[in-house]
Amino acid sequence: MSYRAPVRDILFSLYTAAGFDALTPLYPTADRETVTAVLEGAGTLANDVLAPLNRSGDREGSRLENGQVRSPTGFDGAYKAFSDGGWHGLAAETAFGGQGLPKALETAVFEPIQAANMAFGLCPMLTVGAIEALSANGSEAQKARFLPKLISGAWSGTMNLTEPQAGSDLALVATRATPDGEAYRLDGQKIYITWGDHDLAENIVHLVLARLPDAPAGSRGLSMFVTSKRLVRDDGTLGEANGVRPASLEHKLGIHASPTCVMLYEGAKAELVGAPHQGLAAMFVMMNAARVHVGVQGVGLAERAYQQALAYSLERKQGRSAWTGAWPSRLFDHPDVRRTLMLMKARIEAARGVCLSTALAGDLARRAVNPMDRESARLREDLLTPIAKAWSTDMAVEVASQGLQIHGGMGYVEETGAAQHYRDARILPIYEGANGIQAIDLMGRKLALGKGRAVRELVGDIFPTAGALKSADDAWLHTIGARLEAGLAAVQSATGWMLERRGHAQPDALAGASAYLQLLGDVVGGWMLAKGALAASESLARGEGDKDYFRTKIGLARVYAEQVLSRAPGLAQAVSQGAIDLFRATPESLGA
């Protein structure tokens, strides 16, 4: 089944859930006509160029030959089409060849790109992150030398953090940076470097965490460096090969077309980016951008799995319809299958709204006129980032699994392609900070901001939506509002417990962190759908647009409210369970 970009759904979420209209005064060129045209163009690229390479790329994979990574057949043409379309520079600075559009629009554009071919989409995703990191931290000379080439797609970008002994604990990074005149030489090994080498771009720019000779121990001793596959002369032209090479490729469960490299730095010439020993803060620009984009990967991959499951349910006939008595009936005509499909779609639309809202908050944090509005937006972006990453990617794995379930045995074999979606999705909760770490970040750093101010402001924004739904004449809307309000009560209770326990009983708070993230994600996701339901109801009342489309938006919010939001009180209980049972468990008692 071929993928079709859900442009109408993305636009609906962008404007109703995320509130894109708030950006129009700040980005005058981002009017609705332009936004629609951009998304339609991205959809065409995804549908016609990237999606047809998804299965073949998975089967062929990337390979390492004579020290050079070779990409799957057709990826070179796809990369050229992506670069020629200007997609790398959608939100980049106009001074360096970018288009200066909002990050929220860039985030929306990347959904169909990732859905059509996630293994391919990882390459430009990382380039966009490198553009952001260098824009925020690079010197003027570095920006002038690297940004135009990255924005044009002539060069691609990577992020080099992980080492064999240093995964999520970056304090253990051991790669060395030795001064060499005005430059530095990097020596060390990095692993799990996505698109660390390939044959699509003429050069590959690596952002690398390493230690200077006088670096203090721990994460405070890390500095960020920029280096590249080929040396870059002062005038921006390319010189000879640099001292960095791929040693091997990982053999993975999924995303076979995306090369995951072990990279060796053997005296690679590099430049310091930003201040010495401030590399982790500089790299967080790229890391946080990647986390939101990984959440979007979850949305896109789930959408593709859903589309395939829906198509299969319409063609496969089995059993008797509970509604019409027809036999044999389409799978779609069985209530449990239809419930599953609607829940899949509702979760996707909820996560889409969360990711787009996170990106939009980032735009407001940079451009809002009022300093207080900028600060509130920054807190909102900080709060939602771990939710966008973790909650959306957990959703993707669940939706891909449900897609397999609808296919039955035909989903478990590779011929249908449904298994690939599940295999590809499984990396999402692991990379760019495992989801348990995102939960700890939410519980630790994000709740500490303003002693819970970010959550209080979020809850304060959600309550009016719940109230508007509860006061509506439509009983269906009333139900959504009641469930959302109950979810907010659960969030308030769990947040109060977390704020109290994290100060003097940290193990209790850590034990409840994942449940807390799921609770907050469920409720924020419900809010996204609730705003869509209100907008759909208003359109129906005015007699505008596609009635079936808007009725389905209300139905999706209802299904989500009854199937997901109804569980919020139970999740609040899980948050406050505490750590005593975990403390008492020993390796021996658990079967070691």
499-527 residue pLDDT tens: 999 888 899 999 999 999 999 999 999 99
CB 246 within 8 A of CB 263: yes
| DSSP helix/strand/coil, 245 | strand
| pLDDT band, very low/low/confident/very high, at 585 (cuts 50, 70, 90) | very high
Dist. CA 363–CA 353, nearest whole Å:
15
225-243 residue pLDDT tens: 999 999 999 888 999 999 9
The owner of tokens 């006129």 is 369
Dist. CA 240–CA 182, nearest whole Å:
19
CATH fold for the domain made of 7-152:
Butyryl-Coa Dehydrogenase, subunit A; domain 1 (1.10.540)
Q: What was the pLDDT predicted at 234? A: 87
Dist. CA 198–CA 206, nearest whole Å:
13
CB 206 within 8 A of CB 227: yes
Among candidates 23, 5, 4, 12, which has minimal Cα distance to 104?
23
Dist. CA 422–CA 124, nearest whole Å:
22
Say how far residue 179 (Cα) sits from the centre of its chain.
36
281-297 residue pLDDT tens: 999 999 999 999 999 99
Q: Residue 521: CA atoms inside 13 Å, Cβ hemisphere, count?
A: 28
- For the chain, the average pLDDT equals 97
Reply yes or no on whether the pLDDT at 370 is more than 90.
Answer: yes
| pLDDT band, very low/low/confident/very high, at 475 (cuts 50, 70, 90) | confident
Provide the annotated active-site residues: 432
Mean pLDDT, rounded, for 332-356: 98
Query: Within a 10 A sphere around the Cβ of 73, how many other Cβ atoms?
Result: 12
CB 156 within 8 A of CB 126: yes
Among candidates 498, 495, 497, 559, which has minimal Cα distance to 526?
559
16-51 residue pLDDT tens: 999 999 999 999 999 999 999 999 999 999 999 999
Q: What was the pLDDT predicted at 494? A: 97
pLDDT > 70 fraction of the chain, expressed in percent and rounded: 100
115-144 residue pLDDT tens: 999 999 999 999 999 999 999 999 999 999
CB 61 within 8 A of CB 120: no
Say how far residue 546 (Cα) sits from the centre of its chain.
30
pLDDT > 90 fraction of the chain, expressed in percent and rounded: 97
DSSP 147-198: HHHHHHTSEEEEEE--BTTBSS-GGG---EEEEETTEEEEEEEEEEEETSS-
Full-model pTM: 0.97
Dist. CA 87–CA 90, nearest whole Å:
5
453-464 residue pLDDT tens: 999 999 999 999
Mean pLDDT lowest among 355-364, 448-457, 512-521, 560-569: 448-457
CB 273 within 8 A of CB 231: no
Mean pLDDT, rounded, for 442-449: 92
CB 5 within 8 A of CB 43: yes
Helices marked H in 368-432 — which ranges? 371-407, 409-412, 418-425
| pLDDT band, very low/low/confident/very high, at 1 (cuts 50, 70, 90) | low
Mean pLDDT, rounded, for 555-579: 97
- Main-chain dihedrals φ then ψ at residue 492, nearest 5 degrees: -65, -45
- Main-chain dihedrals φ then ψ at residue 526, nearest 5 degrees: -65, -35
Per CATH, the number for 157-276 is 2.40.110.10
Q: State the DSSP code for 279.
A: H
Among candidates 231, 288, 227, which has minimal Cα distance to 263?
227
